[in-house]
Amino acid sequence: MFQDHLPLLTRLAEGGEPFAIATVIEIRGSASARPGSKAIIDRKGKVLSGWVGGGCAQSTVCGTAVECQRDGQTRIVDLNLDDEVLGTGMPCGGSMRVYVEPILPKQKLWILGHGRIAECLCSLGALLGFDVIVDDPMAERDFYPAAARLLAEDLDYGQLTPGAEDCAVVATQHKGDHQSILRLLESPVGSIALIASRKRSGLVLDYLRENGIAEDQIARVRAPAGLDIGAATPEEIALSVMSEIVMLRRQGSGKAMRLRTPARIAELAG
């Protein structure tokens, strides 16, 4: 029963752990599992709970679960249980289809700084499906209602712990932005955006070089952050920065849709 898995699913979700749910959706002939049978599989391909078949059938499903968690795409696995050579290696006299769905934690958006741009970044980030964390001494809940967390007492950035899949935006308005970027570069965070003028961005990047930061690490910092949409207002600047983050997240080109090939447009439209 699905209810049997609920405690484990809740624990994994609360811990921010990725996992996959494999569900048998079709059986033909003889098979050890039944339609509706489920298994919970971790990011390394280990079955944490449940059952969708033994032997090589389970091995194939677990391998697919790892792939699903890697690219975030669902898959249907067709298993031939009647072919020892081309199938699963178990001549059971039937076939089985298994639907594998990855359950991935929300990507986190860390915002360092306060003010109208930071407020707009928070709103847009939450709207786009990020867990938003605002790390700034001046952060107040009234101005960041969409934030998952507010870190208003993190003066030394001790709680600034982004993961490799996360994004960070430095919107400190030149107040310690070079130190905060140094702190971010010590983390595995995948994307660092600095909201600053071109001149200020150059000064910050020079500061990193003077402090011995290698060029491949400096390349992690997108400064000035954002796409060129002619942004002028805080709202437009936030939109520009979030557009670039989405472009990187979805591996887009940033080009106008009318310049894209018909095939790619159809793919993006789903």
Tens-digit pLDDT profile for the chain (270 aa)? 567 788 898 888 888 889 999 999 998 877 778 899 999 999 999 999 998 877 778 889 999 999 999 988 999 999 987 654 444 444 555 789 999 999 998 899 999 999 999 999 999 999 999 999 999 999 999 999 999 999 999 988 889 999 988 999 999 987 788 889 999 999 999 899 999 999 999 999 999 999 999 999 999 999 999 999 999 999 999 999 999 999 998 888 888 888 876 666 566 566
Please say whether the beta carbons of 157 and 180 come within 8 A. yes
- Cα–Cα–Cα angle for 254, 255, 257, rounded to 5 degrees: 115
Q: What three-state secondary structure class fits 42?
A: strand
Q: How far apart are CA 172 and CA 176, in angstroms?
A: 7
Q: Is 264 domain-assigned?
A: no
pLDDT given for residue 88 in this prediction: 46
**10 φ, ψ to 5°?**
-65, -45
Among all chains, which residue has been given the structure tokens 């990193």? Answer: 208
Q: Which H or E run includes 33?
A: none
User: Of 54, 83, 103, at which residue does a domain stop?
Assistant: 103
Question: What is the DSSP track for 160-212?
Answer: ----TT-EEEE-STTSSHHHHHHHHHTS--SEEEE---HHHHHHHHHHHHHTT
Looking at the fold, whether 17 and 120 belong to one and the same domain comes out as no
Instruction: Show the DSSP H helices in the chain as ranges.
Output: 6-14, 55-71, 116-127, 177-185, 198-210, 215-218, 234-250, 262-269
Structure tokens at 219: 């390349």
Q: For the purposes of burial, counting CB atoms within 10 Å of the CB of 148, is it exposed (0-12), middle (13-18) or buried (19 or more)?
A: middle
pLDDT given for residue 201 in this prediction: 94
Q: Within 10 A of 29 (CB to CB), how many other CB atoms are there?
A: 11
Chain centroid, CA 205 distance in Å: 27
Structure tokens at 68: 């699903």
* CATH, residue 173: 3.40.50.720
pLDDT given for residue 270 in this prediction: 60
pLDDT given for residue 1 in this prediction: 55
The whole domain housing 165 covers: 108-257
Q: Is 147 domain-assigned?
A: yes
pLDDT given for residue 156 in this prediction: 87
Chain centroid, CA 114 distance in Å: 24
pLDDT given for residue 83 in this prediction: 54
Chain centroid, CA 21 distance in Å: 18
pLDDT given for residue 239 in this prediction: 98
pLDDT given for residue 221 in this prediction: 96
User: Of 68, 103, 138, at which residue does a domain stop?
Assistant: 103
pLDDT given for residue 155 in this prediction: 87
Looking at the fold, whether 87 and 189 belong to one and the same domain comes out as no
Q: Is 262 domain-assigned?
A: no
User: Of 103, 131, 165, at which residue does a domain stop?
Assistant: 103
Task: Enter the pTM of the model.
Answer: 0.77
Please say whether the beta carbons of 73 and 102 come within 8 A. yes
